[in-house]
Every structure is written in structure tokens, then in C-alpha cells.
Amino acid sequence: MTLDGPSVLEKVREQEEQIIAELSHIVSMSSYTYSPESVDLLQQYLAEQLRKEGCRIEFLPSENPQFARHLRAEFGSGEDQILVLAHADTVYPQKYISAEAIYQEDDRLYGPGVYDMKGGIVQLLWAVRLIKALGCQTRYRVCIIINSDSEAGGISSRRHIENEAIKSKAVFVLESARVPEGEMKSSHCGSGRYRLKVSGQSGHPSQSSPATSAIQELSFQIQRLHSLSQPEKTVVVNVGQIWGGDTVNTVSPHATALIEMRFLDPKDGAATEELILNAQPFTNCQVEINGSITRPAMLRNAYTQRLMCQVKHLAKHIGLEFGDGVPGEASDGNYAAALGVPTLDGIGPVGGGAHSEQEFIIKDSLATRTALLILILCKAKFC
């Protein structure tokens, strides 16, 4: 068949029932970042599916026992390559996974990880299958990396991503796009992660001064940290996890917080990090903080703009139109972009509610974005 947009989209729509069934299966497989055994089971499934389509498969070491292995797949030939990035891990522990993994309401499919980013993974599987079924030839060798630690900042997969990105003409990230516009992104925030540890003095509540309570000190530190956010500059500081204390009837001798900072301008990121690390106690407790910027910002430039224009042109062939989204999240594409490689994110299905019980994708976007990915891999030209 002729590889034109409408024909490709029609072929994808013919497989819609199977695509959704596989999405349900993958969502039902728990792949919480910090459960490497579970993530590895999903990676093995993905490797098996891609191997069936003729992909060359390799498992890459994580070099950190907290995380599962990363999957590398490759198909096509030629000296030049393009890189496709996805991640198998999610933020959802096993308790959030049920037998009925996804459910539909109106035009939306709901389920844990369906947006971030198992929808994108299923999209990738079916793009590879249909490229083979249609007898298409990709213009470039296609390298795929599906990592297992993206939700932890890509700690152990960064070097693998950078090793392939530096050899690539372009990088496409299968993170989902936000409703309602489904905008792709040529820029992303950078991010940093930090751990704040507070040490107080334990004792009986009726005999010890509240000033020795590590939890009380931590509460002051949390307020200070959140005050560092500057939305007008796209700087966000969030205390995402806290814990501490021993028993309800003991003054807390210890407390800990995990912090994430996001930024767009590297100068703002560096300045905010300095303020985060300059933690001084408000009480008689001791405070210790460490951490650093983990993902560099992904900045819009002329190369990514040309790449965006080409993808928009291909999208019009299947009736899709979208803009260049406002940066907010960070992704593994940041690592590729920091090397100067043209990188686009938001290639995945359209949806919202990431990291919540209301996570969803628009059902029809699975088909349209899969068709677009096929067109990108088979028809796009990169300088």
C-alpha cells in the first residue's frame, strides 16, 4: 500500500480493539519504579514483542539494584540513526493495580500509568508492528531505549540515553501530550532532587522543649522551601515526601523530606538550588541537606523548531494540528537535548491526570498518534 497519512491511519484504526486490549494488559502489569522485579517482567514482555517483529534486543545494566534493567531495541539499517525514548516504570505501587486495569468513560480511557506512559509504549509496539506489516522501510536505523528509572530521574539510565543520543539525528520521546490541545514540546524544565534530614532530641512531650522536635523544625523548612517557587519564572519547588518520629508520645528526634525543584532557565535553576542547599535551622535542631540538579533544562532552539515544523507537516496528513507546548515537566529527553541533539517530546497519546487516580488518555489519540509515529519513522528527513 502507499504510505500516505489517511491509509496509515485507516490501518491503525483497524487494530484499535487489539491496541486497547494490549494497553489493558500492560497497565495490569505493576511496574512501580522501586519494584525492579515487577518492572523487569514488563521489560521482558516488551522485549519479546519487539523481537517478534525483527528488532535486535539488548538489556542494559542499571548499575543500581534499586532499578530494573533497561531495554534497548533496534531495527532498520543505515549509518544514521534516530532515537525513540520511553520508560516502563510508573509511580504506582502494586496496591493501585487491579484486575480491571483500565476502564472507559465517554472518550477517555482511565488507568494507573495509562498516560505516563504505558499508552506511549503500546503506541510504539504497534508502530513497529505495522511498519513491518505494511512493508515500509524506515529512512534511518531506529534505536529504542525503554528505561526503568525515569520516575526516579533516570539515575542509572542517563549514560545509556546519552550514548545513543549523541549518535542520533533526532530524538523522539513518547511521553503523552496534555489535553485539550495535545501539544508537543520542544522545550522542557530541568529538575533537581534533594534530601533534607533534621535531627532533634527525643524525650517525653511533657518534659522536653518543643524546640527539639525534628518534625516541628521540618515544618518550618517545608514552608521555606515552598516559598522559593517562582511560577512567573517557571521555577517550582515541591516537598513531595516526608517522614519522621518514633511514637506518638515521643518528641521526634528525626525527620526527613524529599524535595524536587523544576526550572526552565538554567540560571534560575542554579540560583534556586543555592537557596535550597542553604538550609539554616529555625530551632535548636540540626539540619543537613544534599542533592543536586539531575536533569538539565531542554531548551527550544532553531534545530528543534525545524524538527517541530516537519512533524507538524506530517501530522496534517492525518488531520492533526497542535502547537509547541508550555514547558512544565521534565523527561529523559532533557539528557539528549543537552547534548545538542534535536529532541521532541509529547509524541504519545493525548490525556491528563498524571500521577493521580484520574489518569487518562483520549481513546482516539492512540490511533492518531500511532499513525503519526509511523509517518515520522518512515518519512521524516533529518539534516
Contact between residue 30 and residue 94 where contact means Cβ atoms under 8 Å apart: yes
- Nearest Cα neighbor of 70 from 152, 190, 179 is 152
Does residue 10 carry a pLDDT above 70? yes
Does residue 25 carry a pLDDT above 70? yes
**Are residue 172 and residue 96 in the same domain, yes or no?**
yes
Distances from the Cα of 169 to the Cα of 58, 83, 258, 304, 308, angstroms = 21, 8, 37, 11, 14
**pLDDT, tens digit, for every residue of 318-340?**
999 998 876 667 899 999 999 99
**Are residue 310 and residue 277 in the same domain, yes or no?**
no
Question: Pick from 295, 324, 351: which residue ends a domain?
Answer: 295
Does residue 280 carry a pLDDT above 90? yes
More confident residue, 204 or 19: 19
Instruction: Please tell me the distance from the alpha carbon of residue 234 to that of residue 334, in angstroms, as a whole number.
Output: 16
How many Cβ atoms sit within 10 Å of the Cβ of residue 106?
A: 6
The pLDDT of residue 134:
93
Measured CA angle at 144 (ends 140, 145), to 5 deg: 150
Measured CA angle at 382 (ends 378, 383), to 5 deg: 155
**Are residue 46 and residue 117 in the same domain, yes or no?**
yes
Residues 6+ apart with CB under 8 A from 24: 101, 102, 111
- The average pLDDT across 291-315 equals 93
**Are residue 80 and residue 209 in the same domain, yes or no?**
no
**Are residue 179 and residue 156 in the same domain, yes or no?**
yes
| DSSP class of 212 | G
The pLDDT of residue 224:
98
**Are residue 169 and residue 306 in the same domain, yes or no?**
yes
Distances from the Cα of 175 to the Cα of 7, 312, 346, angstroms = 25, 17, 5
End-to-end CA distance of the chain: 27
**pLDDT, tens digit, for every residue of 167-225?**
999 999 999 999 888 899 989 899 999 999 999 999 888 876 666 899 999 999 999 99
Instruction: Please tell me the distance from the alpha carbon of residue 329 to that of residue 184, in angstroms, as a whole number.
Output: 12
The whole domain housing 269 covers 190-295
**Widest distance between CA atoms in the chain:** 82
Instruction: Please tell me the distance from the alpha carbon of residue 291 to that of residue 109, in angstroms, as a whole number.
Output: 37
Instruction: Please tell me the distance from the alpha carbon of residue 288 to that of residue 346, in angstroms, as a whole number.
Output: 37
Per-residue confidence at 96, pLDDT binned at 50, 70, 90? Answer: confident
**pLDDT, tens digit, for every residue of 122-179?**
999 999 999 999 999 899 999 999 999 999 999 899 999 999 999 999 999 999 999 8
Distances from the Cα of 257 to the Cα of 146, 330, 377, angstroms = 29, 21, 43
The pLDDT of residue 147:
99
**Are residue 62 and residue 15 in the same domain, yes or no?**
yes
**Are residue 82 and residue 182 in the same domain, yes or no?**
yes
Q: Give start and end residues of each alpha helix (H) in the chain.
A: 5-14, 16-28, 36-52, 119-133, 158-165, 214-226, 266-277, 302-316, 333-337, 363-379
- Number of domain units in the chain: 2
The pLDDT of residue 118:
98
Contact between residue 298 and residue 190 where contact means Cβ atoms under 8 Å apart: yes
**Are residue 36 and residue 157 in the same domain, yes or no?**
yes
- The average pLDDT across 9-16 equals 97
The CATH number given to whatever domain includes residue 314 is 3.40.630.10
* Cβ-defined contacts of 327-330 (< 8 Å, 24+): 327/185, 327/187, 327/188, 327/189, 327/234, 327/264, 327/298, 328/189, 328/234, 328/262, 329/175, 329/188, 329/189, 329/262, 330/188, 330/189, 330/190, 330/191, 330/262, 330/295, 330/298
Q: What is the spatial order of strands in the sheet that 70-75 belongs to? A: 56-60, 70-75, 141-147, 81-87, 168-173, 343-344
- The average pLDDT across 363-378 equals 97
| DSSP class of 117 | I
Contact between residue 33 and residue 90 where contact means Cβ atoms under 8 Å apart: yes
- The average pLDDT across 10-23 equals 97
Question: Pick from 272, 295, 318: which residue ends a domain?
Answer: 295
Contact between residue 125 and residue 116 where contact means Cβ atoms under 8 Å apart: no
Q: Residue 59 carries which side chain, given as an amino acid letter?
A: F
**Are residue 334 and residue 245 in the same domain, yes or no?**
no
How many Cβ atoms sit within 10 Å of the Cβ of residue 6?
A: 12
All cell numbers assigned to 332: 529523559
The pLDDT of residue 69:
98
Q: Residue 155 carries which side chain, given as an amino acid letter?
A: I
Whether the model clears a pTM of 0.75, i.e. scores above it, the answer is yes
- The average pLDDT across 99-124 equals 94
| DSSP class of 326 | P
- The average pLDDT across 45-49 equals 99
All cell numbers assigned to 150: 525515569
The CATH number given to whatever domain includes residue 286 is 3.30.70.360
Instruction: Please tell me the distance from the alpha carbon of residue 311 to that of residue 121, in angstroms, as a whole number.
Output: 19
**Are residue 78 and residue 144 in the same domain, yes or no?**
yes
Question: Pick from 247, 277, 295: which residue ends a domain?
Answer: 295
**Are residue 346 and residue 308 in the same domain, yes or no?**
yes
The per-residue pLDDT of the chain, averaged, comes to 94
